[in-house]
Structure 1
Amino acid sequence: MTAHPIGNLDVRLMRTLLILLTECSVSKTADILGQAQPTISLTLKRLREIFDDPLLVRSGNSLVPTERGMDLRVAMEEILGRIDTHLARRTNFNPASSTREFHIVTTNCLGTVFLPPLIGQISSVAPKVSLDVSPIPEHEDLLSGLSDGSIDAVIGNWPRPPEHLRMVSILTTDIVCLVRPSHPFTRRTDRIRMDEYLLEKHLSPTSRRHAHLSPIDGRLIELGLTRQISATVPEYAIAPYILAQSNLLFTTGRHFAEQVAQSFPFAVLDAPEELGKMHFYLLWHERNHHSSDQIWLRDMIKKVAASMRSLDGITLPPLPGTYTVPSLQVNDALAPRRAI
């Protein structure tokens, strides 16, 4: 009886395969594994023979996974995650004495609302623990970071989160629009209609090339609609300052909008009903599911999210400082600015 080629696949080959399919580069894989590039090239050749598939093919100046390669990447992440989980040495996590550094990536619309209480809670019970919080990276970097352990947890609000990751919903909020005092919508009390919404010009925190990942534009795409985005910004914190000097609409979650409106003279208006609500969820990799330190981190994130849900309708602390409205008249250009 002839042995099936798949029987030659060991854990070492599986790990090499995962890195190859994640990095899409023989040289990068060689650097990560500390091996010579020709060795990795021979390994790729052997893997192609085992699976009877090219796995990686040339596209311009780069390599991309084949359909079989993409399926195998998901399978390898799951298989190796389970192996790491069951074979890793189990230890109890003690937050009071731990010097662990956690790496979290998060959508930046929660920055001023969610991160202060999260960091405050963690520092109070785990004074030696440190947090490295950064914006959500490109999709491939996100998946590779979760699979190799360089990212511990993700807080996202995409319309469709990756299905192969562990996930729990942590927060749901109304979607609202912010406008400056001189905007025609300022004095209205009714909800903005979708036809009105699409006629307006908008400010967005999401690049146009990633519109499908935006909870607003992703939903509009599902509805077969498109809004007029006049400007995009890389950071949520910039948005209020741009909004104060333009008649653009800024669409966001109610938690952030209400906080901004305490420091800026903005009107907060209900967004079109068709946009639904904004959902935030916590994501993590299977490899970290049973780790005691990871369980603790996820519990802390869920605890802060629960406290935010219980505070719905209660005024959050305002952003630092107040905004000064620039004079709009040429002959007043040198006049002192009035603080709001």
Structure 2
Amino acid sequence: MEHHAPPTAAGASQPGVERAFFDRVDLHLVRVLYTVLTERSVSRAALRLGMNQPAASAALKRLRELTGDALLVRSGAEMVATDVALQMIEPAASVLRAAEALFTQTRDFDAATSTITFNIAASDYLDPLFLPHLVTGIKREAPLAHVAIHALTREADYRAQLAQGEVDLVIGNWLQPPDDLHIAQLFSDEVVSLVSAHHPAVEKGWSTQQWLAAEHVAPMPTYPGARGIIDQVLSSQGLARNIVVRSAYFGLIPEMVAHSQLVLTTGRQHCERIASGLPLVILPCPIPMPPMDYYQLWHTRSQHAAHARWLRERVKKTIQAL
């Protein structure tokens, strides 16, 4: 059986000819082609496409001109597809499937089959169960996906990382979150101090001056010159605490506190999680502090991306569950 290719195939190596050809083709025309050939009827195709029959006939005429083939011919009382048309059905279906995928990926995210990598930048000042539970939840619903947890460090510019697509989401706490990013508050936490069970303040309590003069441990600033929320609040009142230890590894601080006179001041939820497994005591902070607010931040570039929306929803659900 002899097969006939569309007349432009011979000129495919000529960019000008190819461009002129594709300028005459649109997705609607491909849809008409596929529907007419599968229905074997212009009238049924028009009904299925929501077109009137003259418009469908005009589209078929254009297709015949483009292909140089009749595409649909009469055989007795029926219409049948030509050999050229039969070769075009599956490619047309493929084009329509690709177009559907192209324009639905912003609306729909198939977690069960996605192999995407989620990049999350987060501080470890949150509830120590948060990130483990978040990763577990992601892997349960998206078993083929990958997860990369990035640290919020002084070397990392999270604004640039979000803008450049290096991370999808930033999770942390800010006294005043940046106003150039999209923001969703996750939860608020009371500020308390954590000390060893043998710390003098456990029995005697402490005044403001005693608390300020105590030996404090604090995380390393997230960027040069940065001050944490506690120190920002103190500075606004003309006060400063005695920080004698700074650690880039927040997860190691509780063990330091448990066996020294160090004082860690942070959110109650974090303290409650870790105090149960170490000789630690939670004490109220003698200086009134605003709640410690945690947020997730993202860039406009991922505002409507389906995978990013799905990830933000997983973060919210994980926080709510904890």
Q: Structure 1: which amino acid aligns with 2:117? A: E
1:13-92 paired onto structure 2 within 5 Å: 89-91=103-105, 92=108
1:305-320 paired onto structure 2 within 5 Å: 305-308=319-322
Q: 1:116 to 1:273 in 2, by over 3 A?
A: same
Q: Structure 1: which amino acid aligns with 2:181? A: L
Match of 1:201 among 199, 208, 215: 215
Gaps of 5+ in 2: 1-101
CA apart distance, 1:210: 5.0
1:134-283 paired onto structure 2 within 5 Å: 134-138=150-154, 141-187=157-203, 193-207=207-221, 210=224, 212-283=226-297
1:97 paired to 2:92? no
* 1:103–1:132 Cα contact (<8 Å) kept: yes
1:110-149: per-residue Cα shift (whole Å, max 9, x none)?
Answer: 2622112111211111111121012114487211111111
CA apart distance, 1:90: 4.4
SS of 1:274's partner is coil
Q: 1:173 to 1:291 in 2, by over 3 A?
A: same
CA apart distance, 1:209: 7.0
Deviates more, 1:232-241 or 1:295-304: 232-241
Aligned to 1:129: 145
1:184-224: per-residue Cα shift (whole Å, max 9, x none)?
Answer: 11235x7x543332121101113497564412112222222
Gaps of 5+ in 1: 1-87, 309-340
Q: Structure 1: which amino acid aligns with 2:191? A: I
Q: 1:213 to 1:163 in 2, by over 3 A?
A: farther
Aligned to 1:119: 135
Per the normalisation by structure 1, the TM-score is 0.60
* 1:179–1:243 Cα contact (<8 Å) kept: yes
Q: 1:193 to 1:208 in 2, by over 3 A?
A: farther
Aligned to 2:310: 296
Q: Structure 2: which amino acid aligns with 1:133? A: I
- Percent identity reads 30
Per the normalisation by structure 2, the TM-score is 0.63
Aligned to 2:81: none
CA apart distance, 1:278: 0.8
CA apart distance, 1:238: 1.1
SS of 2:190's partner is strand
Q: 1:139 to 1:280 in 2, by over 3 A?
A: farther
Inter-partner Cα distance in structure 1 for 2:232 and 2:168: 26
Inter-partner Cα distance in structure 2 for 1:109 and 1:286: 26
RMSD: 2.1
1:267-315: per-residue Cα shift (whole Å, max 9, x none)?
Answer: 111123521211100100011001111000000001111222xxxxxxx
SS of 1:99's partner is coil
Inter-partner Cα distance in structure 2 for 1:209 and 1:148: 19
Inter-partner Cα distance in structure 2 for 1:171 and 1:260: 19
